[in-house]
Amino acid sequence: MDQVSPESMNPLLTASTLPYQLPPFDRIRIEHYREAFTQGMRRHREEVALIAGNRAAPGFDNTVVALERSGELLERVSSVFFNLNVSDGNEAMQQLESELAPALQAHEDAVLLDPVLFARIDALHEQRATLGLEPEQRQLLERYHTQFTRAGARLPEAAKQRLRQLNEQLSTLTTAFRQNVLKATADSAVVVESRAELEGLSEAQVGAAARAAQARGLAGRWLITLQNTTNQPLLAQLVNRDLRERVFKASAQRCRGGENDNTGIICRMVALRAERAALLGYPNHAAYQLEDESAGDPEAVRRMLLDLAPAALERAREDARDLRQLIAEHALEAGFEPFELEAWDWPFYAERLRKRRYDFDRAEVAPYFELERVLRDGVFHSAHELYGLTVRERTDLPVYHPDVRLFEVFDADGAPLALFLADCFARDSKQGGAWMSNFVRQARLLGLKPVVVNNANIPKPPAGEPALLTFEEVTTLFHEFGHALHGMLSDVRYPLLQGTNVPRDFVEYPSQFNEMWAREPCVLANFARHHRTGEPLPAELLRRVLAAQTFDQGYATTEYLAAALIDQGWHTLEAGQVPEAADVAGFEARVLARCGLDFAPAPPRYLSAYFLHIFSGGYSAGYYAYVWAEILARDTGSWIKANGGLSRSNGVTLRTKVLSRGRSHDPQAMFEDLYGGPPDVGPLVEYRGLKTITDNFDASGPGSGPYVSTVD
């Protein structure tokens, strides 16, 4: 009998033969990952050893390009495992993740702290002016040198050993934090015993809550599942105040005590990050992180955020006065005693205030925002008009979950460009929120075209029923597809420089720019049609929808700034300044009090115990990035409008100067080349309808304008 090779049994061990090297999801099993990771790390070590031990003098090709070609198997298994672990994970995958985290970190350290390998890179960097490199080659060499240096390649061996220990501990804690949030978010779902308590929800929402309860063995009851943010969407609709309070507290108290407690993990992570920063020669973790970002240093970020805070809080307090008046009126109408405005009341009464000011509520427009039409006639349509892209669904290729849809994307000349996966619906096996990721990263060097995925957490409707979206969910789809376009339109030679491999405060720029099409009248008119009749959204209702987009900006800006300042608060600490686990809430309160943002009705968008961005998602000391990138995005929107709006010529320019270039050039220089000068706060202020508070800002550049995010 012929012996079956391991490669034929484990599909991860060889490159996929499917179009675009799409992973063969239908053949991958949990038992394949461990073997593929083990072999991937071994092969990568062997490849790196050959590069470091090359007896020939260091050259760009035999060192830098060779590194770009190394680690193919490890990249392949990592992209599949870590994507599926957050979008369709299970206990077995989480257990494997916990086991793998320290090994993968040790492997990364073994490469980046290799003195012989770094000596080759350092020698090339010293000679870079005489090597005759092209601009993209020079940038690649710079990025490698920066990457190795920031990883500690220049440290003495004793310091390197301590660094390895710190990195290993942090990798383990990061994994534990994320898994605790995932478990606590599921465990904290609120069980409702009576249908009457759900007054204010639509029949579709009530049905979704009943199905969620049924899926967990709670037949005859209803389950309100949680999103990853502090505020929960259903708070805007639930009439029952006691239930609103239960939902809010279930959200805000996640991972503070109990089996999934993250408070001790937070304090340990912050202390270890601070020690690592000191070891690398920085005063704190924020200084280390921000050195390689556009912001440059913590003081620039702090100044930007604090410039925004007074105006945002003033606007929030003004709206709070109107909300208290509404509560008093409601109490008089319904015959109950007025109560103090609390965090769980704000969304509900803000919706009433929205209706009073703009004469519509969200339920009125939802029938016009059907998921299929929003995708095809909105998200894909705007990409076609701007970049010439054509998107066609394919059902002949495997996906990792029945809810996932797969599309092939073609360029303006008809050439195949990318695969795009849309995973839109919420489920217990998926992390909360919305995000973009890569299964395959574009690189001409390796002959790779991109395979990207967008994840969202839209409640899934009953079989045969349409998925009707809020306007915020519509905006989220456009936002995440902006990230996807950044990945799909990438046209660089080297993997390290592709697509979204840019600074954190630049990576959000294309996504936030793409949000503009969600509210652009010519695009809205194309997709905002009644899901039953096909009638367009009435012009007067559309006018009110657009006018209301500037509503509640004080609250939204305040909740964002509060989270960003908590992030900075943690990561500007020195190791000896970190509080005890029991004082995490106290630390947050002190940070907000010092910044003047201690306003209980408008809590932080994330509290530390479930702040995935900064303790698990790569945004440590970087949550400010959304406001920085928002200025660039709105400036680009202004440039688009000044040059004729949604047109192919504008798309070609934006694609050529920014979206296709990844990090092959300096990001800020790419923006200024497009915009014709440095960033300007004015377009953002106008876009958000906050002209009345511009006196608080210096409009000289990034960080000087207000920000509101509907996503992330």
**3-state DSSP of 281-329:** CCCCHHHHHHCCCCCCCHHHHHHHHHHHHHHHHHHHHHHHHHHHHHHHH
Of 252, 270, 294, the domain-final residue: 252
Q: Quick check: is 193 catalytic?
A: no
Give the separation between CA 436 and CA 414, rounded to whole angstroms. Answer: 25
On the 0-12 / 13-18 / 19+ scale of CB atoms within 10 A, 130 is exposed
Per-residue DSSP letter, 538? P
Is position 599 within any domain? no
Give the separation between CA 269 and CA 310, rounded to whole angstroms. Answer: 31
Both structure tokens of 215: 């899926």
Do 396 and 477 share a domain, yes or no?
yes
Both structure tokens of 441: 């990263």
Is position 669 within any domain? no
Q: What angle do CA 174, 177, 182 make, to 5 degrees?
A: 130
Which pLDDT does position 669 carry in this prediction? 93
DSSP 89-102: --HHHHHHHHHHHH
Is position 490 within any domain? yes
Do 418 and 499 share a domain, yes or no?
yes
Do 144 and 219 share a domain, yes or no?
no
What residues in the chain have per-residue pLDDT under 70? 1-8, 685-712
Both structure tokens of 23: 């992973």
Query: Helices 157-187 and 91-112, interaxial angle, to 10°?
Result: 160
pTM for the model:
0.91
Do 119 and 224 share a domain, yes or no?
no
The CATH number covering residue 542 comes to: 1.10.1370.40
Half-sphere CA count of 361, side-chain side, radius 13 A: 15
For residue 610, count other CB atoms closer than 10 A to its CB. 29
Give the separation between CA 10 and CA 425, rounded to whole angstroms. Answer: 30
Of 104, 138, 154, the domain-final residue: 154
Do 127 and 197 share a domain, yes or no?
no
Do 83 and 194 share a domain, yes or no?
no
Count structural domains, the chain: 3
Is position 476 within any domain? yes
Is position 234 within any domain? yes
Is position 444 within any domain? yes
Do 76 and 146 share a domain, yes or no?
yes
Amino acid making up residue 412: A
On the 0-12 / 13-18 / 19+ scale of CB atoms within 10 A, 154 is middle
Do 19 and 139 share a domain, yes or no?
yes
Chain center to CA of 256 = 23
User: Please, what's the b/e burial string for 343-366 (b: 16 or more CB within 10 A of its CB; e: otherwise)?
Assistant: bbbbbbbbbbbbbeebebebbebb
Is position 72 within any domain? yes
Do 129 and 193 share a domain, yes or no?
no
Which pLDDT does position 501 carry in this prediction? 95
Amino acid making up residue 227: Q
Structural domain of 19: 6-154
Give the separation between CA 588 and CA 610, rounded to whole angstroms. Answer: 13
Do 244 and 383 share a domain, yes or no?
no
Which residue in the list 480, 520, 559, 630 is annotated as catalytic?
480
Is position 404 within any domain? yes
Do 12 and 97 share a domain, yes or no?
yes
Which helix (H) or strand (E) segment holds residue 407: the answer is: strand 405-410
Q: In angstroms, what is the C-alpha Rg of the chain?
A: 25
Do 401 and 530 share a domain, yes or no?
yes
